[in-house]
Structure 1
Amino acid sequence: MTELREVVVCAPLRTPVGRLGGALAPLDARALAVAVLRALLDRTGLDPAAVDSVVAAQGYPTMESPALGRVAALDAGFPITTTGYQLDRRCGSGLQAVLNAAMEVQTGVADVVVALGVESMSNAPLYTEQGRRGVPPGGLLLHDALARGRETVGGTRYPTPDGNVGTAETLRAEYGIGRREQDALALRSHQRAVAAQASGAFDAEIVPVEVPGRRGSVVVDRDEHPRPDSTLDALAALRPVLLATDPDATVTAGNSSGQNDAAAACVVTTPDHALRLGLTPMLRLRSWAAAGVDPRRFGIAPVPATHLALARAGVALADVDVLELNEAFAVQVLACLADWRIDPEDPRVNPRGSGISLGHPIGATGIRMLATLAHELPALDGTLAVETMCIGGGQALAAVFERA
């Protein structure tokens, strides 16, 4: 068997993260994808003909851009020889795109692959499966893809009728995590993200996006989701989503991740090819792992996934300088940290905020996190980082990266 080649990540970039219905809403997923791909070529000087494939992640696709990696590559000016496809592992999709690209490079199937993650939750489709059989009595039922995906992700054997919020409340009851703890974590997330914005910490990873409008184009160059005005009192005033059916409910819009629009991309290749192409490696992939748990408590899945990834890398959590744990819900983060025996205020955990403050554009989040940690490591003079996230349906991914 051929020995696996070393893999490095170069030029991880992202668009700003837009709010649902916000500044990026006029752009569909393809437009966001094309914007970040063009920016990647501009910033690196990479010859698009050198790219073997574009692996794209998207959680809420339509048939406007089938096999999004291919369509976006063509629209961004890549040659017809550049292949592409799309994948969906829900919240882990972006990181999975990087890992798929890495496996292609490791095995020699490809030399240079672009991993792409994108989501326009503002344009997630409303759909029906009934129209081809005629219009039933009462008319056609339209499903909201955003809500429906959360209700069906456990299949018929592991139903999640209350969506991901219901599973978060399950962890709240299991771990005895109070509302105030959750709101405190949410506030800390916003404070860290706002501080990073103010210091210019995100500038190197963000590419501005031009958004057309009736009064002319507007350039968006700043994340919309962080709230500088957030306070514990404001968070405490929000009503729990499931309060009507659960008097002990604690999960609110304020201590949960956002629904957002963004795209992110990076180049995955070998050190030798990076040198030949004039690319500067930022990260080396040390190991990765996936784990599965009961879909009804999916938020805890980063614990086994991270343990396995760390074991494969031969390191421990104590060796990690940055732990990027996506904030799907504050309660889910707190449950994972409790199992790891890590203080919620540990400065290694999401130093510049995460899903609650920066937002969670499903398909893009994994590469957004990668872009952030790639710049955090040198800023903090760190060496090792872990990226991990829970995944609706009872999965998680974790990857160990080393500063290149």
Structure 2
Amino acid sequence: MREAVIVGAARTPIARENGALKDVPPEELAAVVMKEAVARSGLEKPELIDEVIFGHCLGAVGCLGRMALLKAGLPMEIPAITIDRQCGSGSTALNLAAAHIWAGVGDIYLVGGAESMTRQPYLLEKPLSFQRTPPRWISPRPLSPQEIGDPPMGITAENVAERFNVSREEQDEFAYLSQMKAARAIREGRFKEQIVPLTIPQKKGEPVVFEVDEHPRPNTTVEVLAKLPPVFKKGGTVTAGNSSGINDGAGALLITSREKAEELGLKPLAVVRAFGSAGVDPNIMGMGPVPATRKALARAGLTIEQMDVIELNEAFASQAIACCRELGIDWRDQEKLNPNGGAIALGHPIAATLAILVIKAVYELHRRSGRYALITACCGGGQGVATIIERC
């Protein structure tokens, strides 16, 4: 079987809601990282790209992938598709490209994800001709049928905490560790290579260069986290402190067949070894990584113990801990699990997150000379995705 290799990768810093990127549309964020991923790969003829596959969930433009590639100045002959698998969109784009390469459909794909949760549009229910009541805003968007259950994401996290016996103390400890790991990574400059600095014009004064993830709270403590009230359920255990944030950001990767990389003189960074996706009960959607990871490991012929880096998206501390228990991962292992912090600290720009996690995993494998990395996440509506890569 042909090999699919990552030859270029870049991401934006992750911004808070209404933060540094509040005035930047997601298609512009996507355009920046697309252009940079291609440049970093060394690909001199972007017209050789077979297709752009990009994740995006909350936008106001049609087919963000196409809009962004045109904004990036890439050849208009390149086709594009935009996909929505909620939190798993970014890595699903990568997985689809890898499958295309394995099957011989194409050789070069530009993939990733972008999201501006700050700028997500409102949806208004279309009124019927006989309707007398005012139309209502649709927010959040339905992700599963009401008869099955379509609870808010925070309630799914409460459901997981109850069903899998994850305590408030454990959730707060997990959140604290995420913040400390992110603070260490930023302090040591671990993200500098992967981030594209953005110059943001200001209404007054000089433009501001945005180059550091702004969501982390490095000064938090377990005691501070313990004082936060539950936000989704009276008497619950899920708080703003042990949940992921509402964020803006983008990430992109260039992936090619190994043969094409050698032909063009491109340096592979990592090989996509396997991926898996799975469905779970939407009421406990946070458990999606468990069956997805098991599928990916089985397809790769590997075990969880062989993973040097595990990027398990921290939608909520409760589901991350529960998934770790089910998969045999020590969630307190600060060197293997989310070694540079996760979404609780760094943020979770929905469709961009998994592209960003893949990028983080690639760079971390090279930093520590590791071999394998697992990137996995739950997805709203009750799904899970997982990807296994190997350092080149």
**TM-score over 0.5 for the pair:** yes
Identity percentage of aligned residues: 39
Rounded Cα–Cα distance in structure 2 between residues aligned with 1:83 and 1:308: 30
Rounded Cα–Cα distance in structure 2 between residues aligned with 1:342 and 1:113: 33
What do the CA deviations read for 1:280-302 (whole angstroms, capped 9, x no partner)?
21111111111111111111121
Structure 1 equivalent of residue 329 of structure 2: 342
TM normalised by structure 2 equals 0.96
Rounded Cα–Cα distance in structure 2 between residues aligned with 1:42 and 1:303: 36
* Residues 180-259 of structure 1 mapped to structure 2, 5 A cutoff: 180-215=169-204, 216-244=206-234, 247=235, 249-259=236-246
The unaligned stretches of length 5 or more in structure 2 are none
Rounded Cα–Cα distance in structure 1 between residues aligned with 2:294 and 2:94: 20
Structure 2 SS opposite 1:127: coil
The answer to whether the 8 Å contact 1:48/1:77 transfers is: no
1:217 shift after superposition: 2.4
Amino acid of the structure 2 residue aligned with 1:58? H
The unaligned stretches of length 5 or more in structure 1 are none
Structure 1 equivalent of residue 90 of structure 2: 94
Amino acid of the structure 2 residue aligned with 1:28? P
Structure 2 equivalent of residue 293 of structure 1: 280
Please point out which of 129, 135, 140 is paired with 1:140: 135
1:34 shift after superposition: 1.1
Rounded Cα–Cα distance in structure 1 between residues aligned with 2:322 and 2:164: 7
Rounded Cα–Cα distance in structure 2 between residues aligned with 1:401 and 1:37: 21
What do the CA deviations read for 1:354-377 (whole angstroms, capped 9, x no partner)?
110111111101110011000111
Structure 2 SS opposite 1:219: strand
1:137 shift after superposition: 4.0
1:140 shift after superposition: 3.3
Structure 1 equivalent of residue 37 of structure 2: 40
Rounded Cα–Cα distance in structure 2 between residues aligned with 1:219 and 1:139: 44
Rounded Cα–Cα distance in structure 1 between residues aligned with 2:130 and 2:365: 56
Please point out which of 107, 116, 123 is paired with 2:119: 123
Rounded Cα–Cα distance in structure 2 between residues aligned with 1:362 and 1:240: 22
The answer to whether the 8 Å contact 1:69/1:116 transfers is: no
1:138 shift after superposition: 5.0
1:19 shift after superposition: 0.4
Please point out which of 59, 63, 66 is paired with 2:62: 66
Rounded Cα–Cα distance in structure 2 between residues aligned with 1:104 and 1:208: 31
What do the CA deviations read for 1:278-325 (whole angstroms, capped 9, x no partner)?
322111111111111111111112111111111111111111111110
CA RMSD of superposed structures (Å): 1.5
Structure 2 SS opposite 1:390: strand
Structure 1 equivalent of residue 18 of structure 2: 21
The answer to whether the 8 Å contact 2:113/2:252 transfers is: yes
Count of paired positions: 389
Rounded Cα–Cα distance in structure 1 between residues aligned with 2:75 and 2:33: 17
Rounded Cα–Cα distance in structure 2 between residues aligned with 1:140 and 1:70: 32
Structure 2 SS opposite 1:324: strand
Structure 2 SS opposite 1:229: coil
Rounded Cα–Cα distance in structure 1 between residues aligned with 2:358 and 2:73: 25
The answer to whether the 8 Å contact 2:41/2:254 transfers is: no
Structure 2 equivalent of residue 52 of structure 1: 50
The answer to whether the 8 Å contact 2:85/2:379 transfers is: yes
The answer to whether the 8 Å contact 2:155/2:233 transfers is: no
Please point out which of 234, 238, 249 is paired with 1:262: 249
- Aligned CA distance change for structure 1 residues 86 and 135 (closer, same or farther; 3 Å): farther
Structure 2 equivalent of residue 364 of structure 1: 352
1:77 shift after superposition: 0.8
Rounded Cα–Cα distance in structure 2 between residues aligned with 1:49 and 1:288: 28
* Residues 313-324 of structure 1 mapped to structure 2, 5 A cutoff: 313-324=300-311
What do the CA deviations read for 1:73-101 (whole angstroms, capped 9, x no partner)?
11111112111010000110000010111
Please point out which of 157, 164, 169 is paired with 1:168: 157
The answer to whether the 8 Å contact 1:20/1:260 transfers is: yes
Structure 2 equivalent of residue 279 of structure 1: 266
Structure 2 equivalent of residue 309 of structure 1: 296
1:256 shift after superposition: 0.5
Structure 1 SS opposite 2:272: strand
- Aligned CA distance change for structure 1 residues 239 and 135 (closer, same or farther; 3 Å): farther
1:106 shift after superposition: 1.8
Rounded Cα–Cα distance in structure 2 between residues aligned with 1:41 and 1:379: 22
Rounded Cα–Cα distance in structure 2 between residues aligned with 1:136 and 1:208: 50
1:277 shift after superposition: 3.0
The answer to whether the 8 Å contact 2:312/2:320 transfers is: yes
Rounded Cα–Cα distance in structure 2 between residues aligned with 1:41 and 1:287: 23
- Aligned CA distance change for structure 1 residues 134 and 45 (closer, same or farther; 3 Å): farther
The answer to whether the 8 Å contact 1:12/1:370 transfers is: no
The answer to whether the 8 Å contact 1:39/1:207 transfers is: yes
Rounded Cα–Cα distance in structure 2 between residues aligned with 1:307 and 1:328: 19
